[in-house]
Amino acid sequence: MTEKVKIVTLGCEKNLVDSEIMSGLIDQRGYRLVEDRGEATVIIVNTCGFIDAAKEESVNTILDLADLKETANLKALIVSGCLTQRYKQALMEEMPEIDGIVGTGDFYNIAQIVDEALKGKKPIQVGNPVFNYEEVLPRKVSTAKYTTYVKIAEGCDNNCTFCSIPIMRGKFRSRSMESIVAEGKLMASQGVKEISLIAQDSTNYGTDLYGEYKLAELMDQVTKVNGIEWVRLHYAYPGFFTDELIEMIATNPKICKYVDMPLQHSEDALLKRMRRPGRNRDIRELIAKIRSRIPNVSLRTSLIVGFPGETEDDFARLCDFVREIKFDRLGVFTYSKEEDTPASRLPDQIPDEVKEWRATTLMEIQREVSNENASKFVGQVLDVLVERYDGRSDVYIGRSQFDAPEIDGEVYVTNCPVGIGEMAKVRITHAYEYDLSGEGVL
């Protein structure tokens, strides 16, 4: 009997790419991939270990799935990803339900791990997280066929004091431009129209391989792949955002006018404690430069509240900063005290209830900003990638170039002139907090 394998992915899009490669390797080995966990004889949990909430979700998921050994067909439960890279020994000692472990630098051996786990060997492969795939590995895309993520680098050298990514993913390592473009061509051959470029630090791309910043050139090369209509940038580290990159986003029609640039805070004292690049003045100058050269840009950021030493005045100024800058999209995280990071040893830790209040307050401010920002689209005609049909409301739902998949807003379309997975021109008639609606136009 052919064993049936289910992969459960937790955490970020970078984990999703790893899971899709594991799916390709599993399929190549001759195992059958299934969606129903109750049907699976092997389950692989690709975990996240970035913050406490993610660790808790990973552990709870492992325990929940282990019950399928008693209630369903599960023979082997394998754990991969960031949690295993940090806690391999503790996981095997404290969770006997686990039948195999593979780290972030060894997941390309997943088929071998499955083989051994099914034989009862309890394999562990967790080495240094230095893997960076240069060849185009087999990959089964799990997102909608018209959009996908492509990882352009691994690891990070920035050593922000709150972040455990270097511990779990290692030093910064760019993929070669040739391998990324080759993967883009493979994705396009499978019907992908939108590629989102991702890394822990995308703007640093190329400095290790080529001795200079190469993200602008890379994005240009990806847009030349036949069939690709949108190229989107994620996780742009503000310290390395070059004028050349701004110019490329501004002038290349296939590059989405969308910048995802995590800033983490606005106040100099906090930025210094976080070991982030630049200060408040530098951030403002960079944003002004981006918006001046790309007037219609959609700017997304993420902020951390409750970092050790964040005073009430610091938070008040952060709120003023959000009101003034008017980010198009914004995510807020409460500071998570990660072991083995410098910030975990800082004095003046903030109580959890204060962190939560600050996060809620900041998101309420952003809600007002988002309402204001959305209204500017009314009357415009936007290109919309149509993603699904809602039969109850009789509308098609898609996204403009100003919204990334799954995390941002959507466009509701009536009288849609195209099918799912195609681009439609839509006249926007109404704006809501994050979403837009309008009619398709020919």
pLDDT tens-digit profile of 262-308? Answer: 999 999 999 999 999 889 999 999 999 999 999 999 999 999 999 99
The domain in which residue 25 lies consists of 4-125
The overall average pLDDT reported for the chain is 90
177: CATH: 3.80.30.20
**Annotated binding-site residue? 160:** yes
- Residue 108 — very low, low, confident or very high, per pLDDT cuts 50/70/90? confident
What single string gives the DSSP state of each residue in 374-394? HGGGTT-EEEEEEEEEETTTT
pLDDT at 363: 96
Based on the fold, state whether residues 40 and 119 are members of the same structural domain: yes
pLDDT at 155: 86
pLDDT at 223: 98
pLDDT at 343: 93
- Cα-trace Rg, the chain: 22
- Residue 126 — very low, low, confident or very high, per pLDDT cuts 50/70/90? confident
Based on the fold, state whether residues 195 and 255 are members of the same structural domain: yes
Indicate whether 365 belongs to any domain: yes
Angle at 405 (CA atoms; ends 402, 410), nearest 5 degrees: 60
Based on the fold, state whether residues 87 and 190 are members of the same structural domain: no
Number of domains the chain contains: 3
Kindly state the tokens that stand for 191. Answer: 């019907």
How much is the average pLDDT of 394-422? 93
How much is the average pLDDT of 66-82? 90
Indicate whether 402 belongs to any domain: yes
389: CATH: 2.40.50.140
Indicate whether 318 belongs to any domain: yes
How much is the average pLDDT of 190-214? 94
Chain centroid to Cα 139, Å, comes to: 18
Based on the fold, state whether residues 121 and 253 are members of the same structural domain: no
pLDDT tens-digit profile of 160-179? Answer: 999 887 777 788 999 999 99
Based on the fold, state whether residues 344 and 385 are members of the same structural domain: no
Indicate whether 394 belongs to any domain: yes
Q: Over 70: is that where the pLDDT of 249 sits?
A: yes
Indicate whether 280 belongs to any domain: yes
How much is the average pLDDT of 356-366? 97
**Annotated binding-site residue? 82:** yes
Based on the fold, state whether residues 184 and 287 are members of the same structural domain: yes
Q: In 3D, which of 155, 132, 227 has the Cα closest to residue 189? A: 227
Indicate whether 131 belongs to any domain: no
Based on the fold, state whether residues 259 and 358 are members of the same structural domain: yes
Based on the fold, state whether residues 119 and 160 are members of the same structural domain: no
102 contacts 80 by C-beta, under 8 angstroms: yes
Based on the fold, state whether residues 349 and 389 are members of the same structural domain: no
373 contacts 326 by C-beta, under 8 angstroms: yes
Based on the fold, state whether residues 363 and 422 are members of the same structural domain: no
Phi then psi dihedrals of residue 277, to 5 deg = -75, 145
Listed residues 375, 395, 422: the one ending a domain: 375
Give the predicted TM-score (pTM) of the model. Answer: 0.86
Indicate whether 20 belongs to any domain: yes
**Annotated binding-site residue? 163:** yes
Based on the fold, state whether residues 343 and 433 are members of the same structural domain: no
- 84-to-50, 79, 102 alpha-carbon distances in Å: 12, 7, 7
Indicate whether 330 belongs to any domain: yes
**Annotated binding-site residue? 319:** no
